[in-house]
Amino acid sequence: QLHLTMSEKNELTKSLEIVQKELQEKESEMKREISEYKDRLLQAEKEHQDAVTEASRKNEVEIEACQDKMNSLEHFISSQKLEIEHLKSSKEELNNSLKEANQTLGELLKTKVR
């Protein structure tokens, strides 16, 4: 009886060792897979961050270009307004000179008629 029990114990011990070894192998494989997934996740996060950074950089460049264009247009508009004011002033001066010339001409004509 004792011999039979010892034999069963040995078989159970061997069986337990086999199960423990299988569990260790599975645990090791799962740790390896987890490590791979973590690496892939880190790589994906890095690629995402790189894409975000590149998009931000492109947007900043585009914003700067638009601001430069807007500044240029504002400067152009400002110079056009100054030109318009100058032309209005010149027109006023010409109108005044024309009035004076017409008055002088009228006076000359009156003098000539007498």
| CA 65/CA 57 separation, integer angstroms | 12
Binning pLDDT at 50, 70 and 90, where does residue 4 land?
Answer: confident
| CA 34/CA 46 separation, integer angstroms | 18
Domain ranges of the chain: 1-82
pLDDT of residue 39: 98
Position 114 pLDDT exceeds 80: no
Percentage of the chain exceeding pLDDT 70: 100
Position 94 pLDDT exceeds 90: yes
pLDDT of residue 1: 77
Q: Which two tokens stand for residue 39?
A: 């690496």
| CA 38/CA 2 separation, integer angstroms | 53
| Tens digit of each residue's pLDDT (9 = 90 or more) over 18-65 | 999 999 999 999 999 999 999 999 999 999 999 999 999 999 999 999
DSSP secondary structure of 48-99: HHHHHHHHHHHHHHHHHHHHHHHHHHHHHHHHHHHHHHHHHHHHHHHHHHHH
What is the CB-side half-sphere exposure of residue 22 using CA atoms within 13 A? 6
